[in-house]
Structures are given as C-alpha cells and as structure tokens.
Amino acid sequence: MSKVTVVGAGNVGATTANVLVTSQIADEVVLIDIKEGVSEGKAMDIMQTANILHLQSRLTGVTNDYAMTNNSDVVVITSGVPRKPGMTREELIGVNAKIVKSVTDSVLAHSPNAIIICVANPMDTMTYLIHKISGLPKNRIIGMGGALDSARFKYFLSIALGANATEVEGIVIGGHGDTTMIPLTRYAAYRGIPASTLIPAEQLEKVAADTMVGGATLTKLLGTSAWYAPGAAAAQMVAAVLGDQKKLISCSCLLRPSLIVRIVPQVGHAVVVLCGDPVVKIIVCLSFSTATNRLRIVNLGHILIGYHHQGNRIRRYVRTCACFNR
C-alpha cells in the first residue's frame, strides 16, 4: 500500500491530489490544509468521480491534522502564497519560508521516512530551506520545477512544429525562474529530428523566450499562478518515486557543497562530470578552467548533459535531472 500526502489544498495541491487519484498513482492520498473544510470539500468532490472513472485510489481531506498523514511514503509540499500578476517567485520568500518550515516540521513528526517533493515558490530556495531545517539526506528532498518548465518548453515547441506534443523532446535546466531557466534549444527534437532543422532559428528562440516567461504569462492571464500543469508535473514525480520507474525528470536537488571532481573528457567549452549517491544520480556539465584541471560544484544543481563513449566519439544526449531509485 502506497501513501502520499499533499500539503496545501489550493489550486496546485488539489490538482496534484486529483491527478494522483484519477491516474491511480497511489493507493491512499491525504490532502491537508490549514483552512477549515477546504481539503475535505475538494477531496469529496474528487472522490465523487470514483464511480464514473472506476477509481480504486482513496482520497481523504483533513484540516491541519497531521496525524492523518502518518507513515506517508511521499509528501508533496504545495502550501504557500501564490504569485500575483507582476510578482516574481523570489518576492514570496519571506512569507512562504515560514509556511514551509512549519509544514516540514509537522510532516516529519509523523512521516520521518518520507521523500519530500517541494512545489512551493520560490521552489529552488524552498527546497534548499527544507534541506537546512530537516537534516534529511539530500536524496529525500526534491524540488519540482524543471519538470514543469520542460513540459512548457515542449508545449511551445509542439505549437511551433505543428506536431503532437507527446512526440516532442526538450529539456529546461537551471533555476525555476523567469531569468534563470535555460531551455536547451540545441537538443530540442521531434521524433529524433533536431528542431533546428525543422523551424527557423528565430522561431526556435521565440519558443525558448516564451518558455522562460511561461509562468508569468499564465499569472497575467489568470490573475494567479497556474495549477493544472504544475499539479500534473508534481504527480509525475510522485509516480516516478513510488513506481521506481527509472525515469529521468528535470528537478532541483542538492549537490555536495565544495565537491571537487576530476575532469573527464571535455566537450567543447564544457566538461561532463558524474557525481551523486545511490538514490539520486546526477550528471552535471559546467564550464571550467584548463589552468586548474579541477572543478568546484555549487550547492543546488540540475543535470545538464549526459554522455557515453562509442569508439573515439562522444555521443551527447540530453535527458533530465534525477533518477529515482527507492
């Protein structure tokens, strides 16, 4: 029996719970919120689709009763104040940090062995905060950002190509912010065919630009943060963990600070290094100085470029950030 807790019954949290239940990713889902009646009402609404959709998963809504979350395998933290039009994710740090700290303490009191997926904004900062306050191993704290940004990238790419969105390949790395994310246009493809050979460079760059402000665009249109794609992206990560799916999903994770690694074969002006642990395997590509022949990795990172040898060639491929092995 698998159990997942979703903290925060707002738009993102409720959507995450809905996808977890309707896709039958977890046997039991608990939706918890501080506001009286909200999680209970949304859980009841979702479960009233059980007969229609032939669901076997069970969803329970509770108000601030963390005892009901006891022994959760995965906890998704969505609680916090959403963005309003014109706001950056970073402007939410002050208020959301207090919320995330309180939630983390409550969750771990009842599910000390849970894997935590952070969705609350600013996601990268909140993920790092959970590391600092929880003392958990780094392989049990993951930030959901790259999965959403990559999904948006592939959406805009499918529009530009006039292609089926499920047959488009693309990845976004970097931070989960309008100015810090990096859509890797060079590796965007349609069924293995480089997108750069199918559409003009200017159009591909527009796809990247639209991706970077994808969240802000939706906030302006909706008057608040988006929720359908973020909720689905969070549920995708939960499924990867619970099912030991060996999927590679772009995400935020902690690297060992001040880790010194040996240089391996150079690719252009970048170097590929491998680091990680038994649970989260991370491949990072960073610029380096040939004078030192050594490289220092910073705390938060995302997988960039993997590689393997074939004869004397280095065949590069782009995949996403973390391989989840329970």
Long-range contacts (CB closer than 8 Å, 24 or more residues apart) made by 217-225: 219/83, 219/84, 219/85, 219/87, 220/85, 220/86, 223/84, 223/85, 224/11, 224/82, 224/83, 224/84, 225/11, 225/12, 225/82, 225/83, 225/121
CATH 3.10.105.10 matches 146-222: no
pLDDT of 318 above 70: no
- Mean pLDDT for 195-220 is 94
Q: How far apart are CA 139 and CA 135, in angstroms?
A: 11
Name the pairing type of β-strands 168-169 and 322-323.
unpaired
Q: Quick one: pLDDT at residue 315?
A: 28
Task: For residue 26, name the pLDDT band (cuts at 50, 70, 90).
Answer: very high
User: Is a pLDDT exceeding 90 seen at residue 3?
Assistant: yes
Q: Do domains 3-143+228-243 and 146-222 have the same CATH topology?
A: no
Q: pLDDT digits over 107-156, tens only?
A: 999 999 999 999 998 888 899 899 999 999 888 999 998 999 999 999 99
292 or 285: which carries more pLDDT confidence? 292
Q: Is residue 51's pLDDT more than 90?
A: yes
Report residue 221 as tokens.
């249109």
Cα separation, 170 vs 57, whole angstroms: 32
pLDDT of 259 higher than 80: no
For the cut 70, the answer to whether the pLDDT of residue 70 exceeds it is: yes
Host H or E run for residue 25: none
Q: Are 43 and 60 in contact (CB under 8 A)?
A: yes
Q: What is the pLDDT of residue 265?
A: 40
Tokens of 207: 């796809």
pLDDT in tens, 93-115: 777 888 999 999 999 999 999 99
Terminal CA-to-CA distance of the chain, rounded, Å?
Answer: 15
pLDDT band at 312 (very low <50, low <70, confident <90, very high): very low
Over the chain, what is the mean pLDDT? Answer: 80
Per-residue model confidence (pLDDT) at position 301: 35
Kindly state the average pLDDT of the residues 61-75. 97
Domain 3-143+228-243, what architecture? 3-Layer(aba) Sandwich (3.40)
- Of the pLDDT bands very low, low, confident and very high (cuts 50, 70, 90), residue 20 is very high
pLDDT digits (tens, 9 = 90+) for 217-256: 999 999 988 999 999 999 999 999 999 888 878 888 876 5
Band (pLDDT 50/70/90 cuts) for residue 90 is low
Catalytically active residues are 176
As a whole number of angstroms, the longest Cα–Cα distance in the chain is: 66
- Which stretch of 19-23, 77-81, 109-113, 234-238 has the lowest confidence by average pLDDT? 77-81
Whether residue 194 is predicted with pLDDT greater than 60 in this model: the reply is yes
- Can you give the residue ranges of every domain in the chain? 3-143+228-243, 146-222, 253-323
